A and B are shown apart, each in its own frame.
Chain A
Amino acid sequence: QQQVKQSPQSLIVQKGGISIINCAYENTAFDYFPWYQQFPGKGPALLIAIRPDVSEKKEGRFTISFNKSAKQFSLHIMDSQPGDSATYFCAVSGGGADGLTFGKGTHLIIQP
């Protein structure tokens, strides 16, 4: 059973547009929801993260929206740029020693 479902699998957005990636989870015990960005040939890097006590967190052009009742959270990239082209992963954690459980990833392409 997949603990976190990420969509879409791939996404093409025009430069200056808004990129939106969604994740859904089942376990209400999860209490940490990060997004990671990965460029080809590199390891994933933390982009932004949220705890369930807030519904939104914004850092620059990146925003996480969190809907606790729907058990969903999403990443919004405003004014998307070609340099944002990468693979994005959502993840969840319940606070255990076993780290993060990741979604399958979204390959984002920003067209100039």
Chain B
Amino acid sequence: DAGITQSPRHKVTETGTPVTLRCHQTENHRYMYWYRQDPGHGLRLIHYSYGVKDTDKGEVSDGYSVSRSKTEDFLLTLESATSSQTSVYFCAISVSSGNTIYFGEGSWLTVV
């Protein structure tokens, strides 16, 4: 158990609506990540954070924003959900850069 809680675990939403996924960690790790997993694409980095209020874009950041106001929480927001954002979203944490990252259990998002 990596001490990561993702919420919601499952969500169905309509195209054009805003959606926020929450990642909460109990490990007090500095680095947090949001990945999406899609068949044939593996795991792709959306955004990452290297400290409170310190965030940066990953490989597939278009249509997503993030915020980190506390060490333990990392929020991923889809401002206006599209069907292409139907995916499984994983939060991950790491104690240091360039080292092992630990994943949460995932959030299944369906945009209809």
Interface residues of A (CB under 8 A from B): 6, 31-32, 34, 36, 41-46, 49, 89, 93-105
Chain B's closest residue to A32 (CB) is B98
Q: Is B56 a contact partner of A97 (Cβ separation < 8 A)?
A: yes
Given contacts A93-B98, A98-B56, A100-B101, contact A43 B42 (CB under 8 A): no
Is the CB–CB distance between B100 and A102 below 8 Å?
no
In the complex, residue of chain B having the shortest beta-carbon distance to the beta carbon of A3:
B59
Which residues on A sit within 8 Å (CB–CB) of B98? 31-32, 93-96
- Of B13-21, B68-76, B78-86, B103-111, the segment with at least 4 beta carbons within 8 Å of chain A is B103-111
CA distance A83 to B41 in the complex (A): 24
Task: Let me know if A105 and B42 touch, CB within 8 A.
Answer: yes
**B42 cross-chain contacts in A, Cβ below 8 A:** 6, 89, 102-105
Q: Which residues of B contact A46 (CB under 8 A)?
A: 100, 102
Shortest beta-carbon distance, A19 to chain B, in Å?
A: 18
Q: What chain A residues lie within 8 Å of B35 (beta carbons)? A: 102
Is A99 in contact with B94, judged by CB distance below 8 angstroms?
Answer: yes
The distance in angstroms between the C-alpha atoms of A30 and B42, with both chains bound, is 19
Distance in angstroms between the alpha carbons of A49 and B99 in the assembled complex: 10
Docked pose: A98 CA to B99 CA in angstroms? 10
What separation, in Å, do the CA atoms of A98 and B100 have in the docked complex? 12
From 49 to 102 in chain B, residues with beta carbon under 8 angstroms from any chain A beta carbon are 50, 56, 58-59, 90, 92, 94, 97-102
User: What are 17 of the A-B contact pairs (CB < 8 Å)?
Assistant: A6-B42, A31-B98, A32-B98, A36-B103, A42-B106, A43-B106, A45-B103, A46-B100, A95-B97, A97-B48, A98-B45, A98-B48, A99-B31, A102-B42, A102-B44, A103-B42, A105-B42
